[in-house]
Amino acid sequence: MDIRQQSHYPCGQRLAPLLPIEVDRLRRLKELSCTDTVAAKLARISPSTVDRALRHTKEVERMKRKYHKKIHPLLYQKVPVKVFLEQDRGSLGNIQIDGVEHCGSLASGEFIYTLSTTDIATGWWEGEPVMGRGQERVREAISKARARYPVRWKEVHSDNGGEFINWHLYRYCEREHLDFTRSRPYKKNDNCLVEQKNWTHVKKFVGYLRYDTEPELQILDDLYRKELRLFKNFFQPVIKLTSKERVGGKIHKKYDVPRTPYARVMESKEVSEQVKQELKRRYESLNPALLKREIDRTLNLLYKAYQAKQTSAQKVEPKIKSFKKLMPATVSFLMTQPRGATVSS
């Protein structure tokens, strides 16, 4: 029997006083087998000698704890792992989802996340802001984003974050007859398409500031549900990789003809004519220049809401040289700079 294990691994200072008493007790109970000579040595051993003798054993135990295989809860075992090459890139309705933090330079407390979702086949994107990472809130945001898609969802693919791998979303997918898969841990390429849109559709517009108030949440909600989704889905072409071949030391990639998500949906035979007619009427009623102006106006409101919550000492202003006044051309330019970055002339 291991006396350290029985005593819950005490240090030498705590273990040495126990040995004169516990060794005899365990020998009488026939839990420990050792000679009288060894028992006598254990009775008079010093704490420093105990630590010195167990130094190697403790290091081995530490390495085993550090590198042991992680045992996930049962729910992680229920959600199958699927790499990107295994995901169906031809049929519509296979959705990748991810969360984008808007914490600025401080990750503590509650702040807004953007739920980013995209259809693998068409590149159609929908976003939804969420205050915090509450499991039920994220589940509701997924349901709202799903309602705006012109295609029927078949599968939801996420990373291993606790905001996604939980019973709320698992039961929702079961109830709605959706397949639910996840990426390999620490393998972002398994969710690469939505990871790309985290920059092009979210960070490139709303920037790197911290958003954690209800007014900011409402502004982001209006932005994602109205102008931004229309501008991105109807007027921004998407390029899809068709093949990749290694020739010698170089990788040659081939892409298809750039088309907007709207055009790809209209070309698909999986979408009904009624949905296509509705999308066509919506497309013909849109003005891309007006949408861009509305996006800039909304981003101005978002930046003003951010400034309003700051104290005079905390207001974000570009660092400029004393001899030259320099201001960013647009608010969106300032918002895309990481917090604390210097705007150079």
- 106 Cβ contact partners less than 8 Å away, ≥ 6 residues apart: 210
284, with CB counted inside 10 A (0-12, 13-18, 19+), is exposed
115: part of which helix (H) or strand (E)?
strand 112-119
Q: Which residues contact 299 (CB under 8 A, 6 or more apart)?
A: 205, 206, 223, 331, 332, 335
Rounded CA-CA distance 72/75 in Å is 8
187: tokens are: 């393998």
CATH superfamily of 75-304: Ribonuclease H-like superfamily/Ribonuclease H (3.30.420.10)
Domain residues of the chain, as ranges?
3-67, 75-304
Question: How would you classify the pairing of strands 94-102 and 155-158?
Answer: parallel
Asked whether the beta carbons of 173 and 139 are under 8 A apart, the reply is: no
Model pTM score: 0.71
pLDDT tens for each residue of the chain, 345 residues long: 577 777 777 888 888 888 888 888 888 888 888 888 988 888 889 989 988 988 998 888 888 777 666 656 788 889 999 998 888 888 999 999 999 999 998 888 899 999 999 999 999 999 999 999 999 999 999 999 999 999 999 999 999 999 999 999 999 999 999 999 999 988 888 899 999 999 999 999 999 999 999 999 999 999 999 999 999 999 999 998 888 899 888 999 999 999 999 999 999 999 999 999 999 999 999 999 999 999 999 999 999 999 988 864 455 544 444 434 444 455 555 565 654 444 443
What is the CB-side half-sphere exposure of residue 186 using CA atoms within 13 A? 0
